[in-house]
């Protein structure tokens, strides 16, 4: 089976890739949750799973094991405020759970839930979830029961997730229901590098800041950047461009609009050769091209079609690409992706070779993980040639 070989795409002659630390909740915590009473954190979160949507899952066995996980939490966290937060894509999975003792929360995105309750949360649990990683990276005690689900998931899917979670510290895994719960929160060192780099570019340009995001999992990073921007210069306008993704239903605009002077929603662009989806991509590109950016404005974005359009249509503006260390490795470093785990589709190739050139935006390559663990997208040119600065922040992965 053919593997996908990607060469290293970094222009080493440029010194514009910077390591930054995103201060978790430091910019937002006191605003969203101004509780300064000093009371002990007593909230325990169990993150639900849309396990009916995971390929290769034995639904009955998964539900049985997850109920044992809930029993473990009730036992180890007796006397705490227990909350079950459903996965945004859950259907009726909770009906298979014994949730006695748990208050059921809304399907709000986990990261936003953490923000709203930052000073109340003691522990975060899940079968296995990216939300665990986000919690651990944000300084919470976070645990997953991944290995205990081996009999509920087929081998290809289990192996894919195991590789994805391989860099997570062993202290984050509960491998036996008799295991004693021990705190594992990490100390977050806020070295001020994000604010320092923001101040550097703000001295060069005094216009509006345009933030771009597609994946809701990066909303915390964008909110932190927006809050720091206002801290540095309260009179500067901060605008947000988001792609119309179904997961935004878990992040009500009302919850975040106070941090932005303007929020613009563009159609979500799918990498496809289907006419309806190409039309959506064209509409998104045209909307962004018509934006009234001034030469003094600054663009800061994560990996998305909208960020690509901003960088392509406004080349004279300062452009910053914000990404995690793990994502940076995927999109820039030399890598070989196994054909047994990843695939490309004719629509992906058509979009890259035909649609993006016709729209006048940077070409990108896209690979899809067969077990839906994670996908890979990268530009065909060095990212630090496309953007003036690349800010890379650490993650647990």
What is the C-alpha separation between 59 and 51, in angstroms, rounded? 7
Integer-rounded Cα radius of gyration of the chain: 21
> Taking a C-beta distance cutoff of 8 angstroms, is the pair 198, 298 a contact?
no
Whole-angstrom distance, CA of residue 155 vs CA of residue 340: 13
Q: Is residue 335 part of a domain?
A: yes
| Cβ-proximal residues to 324 (8 Å cutoff; 6+ apart), any chain | 392, 393, 394, 395, 397
Q: Give the model's pLDDT for residue 373.
A: 67
Spatial neighbors of 104 by CB under 8 A, at least 6 apart, are 83, 84, 86, 94
Helix (H) / strand (E) element for 73: namely helix 59-76
Q: Measured between alpha carbons, how far apart are the two ends of the chain, in Å?
A: 27
Decide if 225 is inside a domain: yes
Residue 353 has what pLDDT? 95
Question: Do 148 and 222 fall within a single domain?
Answer: no
Q: Examine the domain organization and report whether 164 and 240 are in the same domain.
A: no
Chain centroid to Cα 58, Å, comes to 27
Determine the pLDDT at residue 31.
39
- pLDDT (0 to 100) of residue 26: 38
Nearest residue to 80 via CA among 122, 108, 20: 122
How far is 309 from 121, CA to CA, in rounded Å? 39
With left for phi above 0 and alpha for psi between -120 and 50, is residue 98 left, alpha or beta? beta
Nearest to 227 by CA among 16, 5, 25, 1: 25
User: What pLDDT does 312 receive?
Assistant: 97
Asked if residue 244 and residue 365 are part of one domain, the reply reads: yes
Check which CATH number belongs to the domain holding 238 and give it: 3.40.50
- Residue 272, in any domain of the structure: yes
In sequence order, the 6+-apart residues with CB closer than 8 A to the CB of 162 are 146
The angle formed by the CA atoms of residues 215, 207 and 258, to the nearest 5 degrees, is 50
H or E stretch at 322: strand 318-324
Same domain, 18 and 62: no
Q: The domain containing residue 288 runs over which residues? A: 4-23+190-393
Is 185 part of a structural domain of the chain?
Answer: no
- Count helices and strands in the chain by DSSP H and E runs: 14, 17
For residue 377, the model assigns a pLDDT of 86
C-alpha 204 chain-centroid distance: 29
- Give, in order, the Cα–Cα distances in Å from 223 to each of 106, 236, 252: 21, 15, 14
361 SS3 class: coil
13 and 112 together in one domain: no
Residue 240's SS3 state is strand
Q: How many domains does the chain have?
A: 2
Asked whether residue 239 falls in the same domain as residue 200, the answer is yes
**Pair of tokens at residue 99:** 């949730």
Domain check: are 164 and 212 in the same one? no
Residue 203 C-beta-side C-alpha neighbours within 13 Å:
6
Assigned token pair, 68: 């044992």
Residue 104's region, left for phi above 0, alpha for psi from -120 to 50, else beta, is beta
Whether 337 maps to a domain, the answer reads yes
Distance of alpha carbon 218 from alpha carbon 220, whole angstroms: 5
How far is CA 44 from its chain centroid? Answer: 22
Cα distance between residue 243 and residue 93, in whole Å: 28
Q: Look up residue 10 and give its two tokens.
A: 């970094």
Which segments in the chain show pLDDT lower than 50? 26-38
Residue closest to 368 by CA, chosen among 344, 395, 393: 344
Determine, yes or no, domain membership for 137.
yes
Claim to verify: residue 384 and residue 252 sit in the same structural domain? yes
Based on the fold, state whether residues 258 and 371 are members of the same structural domain: yes
């Amino acid at each position: 089976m053919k593997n996908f070989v990607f060469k290293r795409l970094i222009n080493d002659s440029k010194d514009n890739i910077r390591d930054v630390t995103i201060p978790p909740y430091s910019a937002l915590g006191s605003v969203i949750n101004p509780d300064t009473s000093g009371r002990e954190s007593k909230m325990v979160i169990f993150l639900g799973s849309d396990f009916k949507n995971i390929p290769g899952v034995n639904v009955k066995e998964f539900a049985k094991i997850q109920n044992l996980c809930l029993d473990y939490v009730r036992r180890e966290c007796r006397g705490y405020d227990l909350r079950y937060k459903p996965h945004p894509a859950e259907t009726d999975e909770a009906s298979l759970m014994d949730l006695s003792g748990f208050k059921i929360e809304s399907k709000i995105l986990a990261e936003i839930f953490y923000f709203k309750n930052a000073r109340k949360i003691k522990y975060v649990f899940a079968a296995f979830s990216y939300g665990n990683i986000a919690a651990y990276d944000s300084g919470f005690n976070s645990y997953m029961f991944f290995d205990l689900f081996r009999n509920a998931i087929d081998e290809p899917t289990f192996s894919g997730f195991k590789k994805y979670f391989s860099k997570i510290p062993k202290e984050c895994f509960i491998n036996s229901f008799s295991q004693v719960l021990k705190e594992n929160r990490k100390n977050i060192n806020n070295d001020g590098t994000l604010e320092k780099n923001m101040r550097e570019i703000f001295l060069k340009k005094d216009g509006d800041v345009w933030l771009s995001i597609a994946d809701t999992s990066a909303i915390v990073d964008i909110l932190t950047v927006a809050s720091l921007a206002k801290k540095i210069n309260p009179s500067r306008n901060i605008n947000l461009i988001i792609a119309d993704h179904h997961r935004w239903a878990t992040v009500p605009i009302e919850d975040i609009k106070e941090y932005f002077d303007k929020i613009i929603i563009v159609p979500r662009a799918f990498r496809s050769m289907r006419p309806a989806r190409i039309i959506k991509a064209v509409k998104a590109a045209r909307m962004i091209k018509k934006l009234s950016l001034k030469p003094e404005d600054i663009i800061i974005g994560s990996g998305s079609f909208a960020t690509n359009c901003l960088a392509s249509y406004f080349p004279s503006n300062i452009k910053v690409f914000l990404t995690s260390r793990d994502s940076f490795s995927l999109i820039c470093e030399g890598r070989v992706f196994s054909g047994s785990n990843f695939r490309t589709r004719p629509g992906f190739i058509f979009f890259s070779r035909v649609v993006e050139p016709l729209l006048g935006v940077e070409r990108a390559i896209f690979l899809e993980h067969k077990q839906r663990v994670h996908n890979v997208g990268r530009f065909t040119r060095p990212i630090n040639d496309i953007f003036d600065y690349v800010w890379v922040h650490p993650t647990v992965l």
